[in-house]
Amino acid sequence: MILDKTISKDREKNVSIRKMIEENKQSVSFSNIVETLIPKILLIIAVISILTTAGILITLLAETIEFFKDVPFIEFFTGTVLKPLGENAQFGVLPLLMGTFMSSIIAMIVAIPIGLMTAIYLSEYASEKVRRIVKPILEILAGIPTIVYGFFALTFVTPILRAIIPELDPTNILSPGIVMGIMIIPMVASLSEDALSAVPNAMREGALGLGATKLEVTWKVVVPAAISGIVASFVLGISRAIGETMIVTIASGSSKNFTFDLTQSMQTMTAYIVEVTGGDAPAGSTLYYSLYAVAMTLFVFTLIMNLIAQYISRKFREEY
């Protein structure tokens, strides 16, 4: 009896061990399948992204080429008059470039100093309690829809500016530029604060140990060490300003003026695209193809700016 019990127990142990081995084999087999599939799935996702970008480029190029069959290349990029309607239509892109650059410059004049100072305060001076209050407020600003900013610029900021500058037009480039800067502040502040916080504390402590003040440590040690991230935040802010649509569409008007006067109404490239697509531009017309020419111009300028930004960031990273 004792021998039979021992044999039965051994058999039960052998069965349980076999089950464990089989289960382990199944789990290993499933893990191998997952390990094999995941890289392929990621590759497919990456290829889809590349194909999407290629599709956008091909579409823009094809329609832009059709536009330049009717409008000379030199006339488009050197013309200071944009009158897309009528028999004597003129398609000079310089008024749109001027409006885009003016609004972006105004926005960055507002966003860069305020955003950078906010980031420095949060990273180097603010207590944990203050940081918990200020950061959510910045996130709320970043989450406000741009159409709300547009109406804010038109109905609140513009009347205040007109009280200060009587010659300011009801729709102008100054008001949306300022509001765009307010909108971009959270982006610049958040990215710059992340870059500043990533600087090792040993660098701060070493500078303080050598007798530097808190202000000297911030401006001569921390900021130079984080300069590549700070520059990247500036560039992303500029790209955001150039690509902004709703604020300038609502508050800057549709006058295609080629001027440096900030009090006048001006139109940006994105606002022009919205205006024409919202109208009755027949497919295949020069007006229709002008949308793609302007979009291609916007794409090229943004690409060039991002390449320059990468070069600048790399140079700063090498130097510091």
- Residues 54-87 pLDDT 10s: 888 888 888 888 888 888 888 888 888 888 777 7
What's the whole-number mean pLDDT along residues 27-53?
A: 80
**Contact yes or no for 286/88 (Cβ under 8 A):** no
d(CA 186, CA 193): 10
**Neighbour count for residue 33 (Cβ, 10 Å):** 10
pLDDT digits (tens, 9 = 90+) for 98-110: 999 999 999 999 9
Q: What is the pLDDT of residue 200?
A: 85
CA distances to 20, 23, 25, 39 from 29, rounded to whole Å, are 14, 10, 6, 16
Q: Say how far apart CA 180 and CA 231 lie, in whole Å.
A: 19
Q: What is the CATH number of domain 82-316?
A: 1.10.3720.10
Residue 244 three-state SS: coil
Q: pTM to 2 decimals? A: 0.80
- Residue ranges per domain, the chain? 1-70, 82-316
Cα–Cα distance for residue pair 91/80, rounded to 1 Å: 9
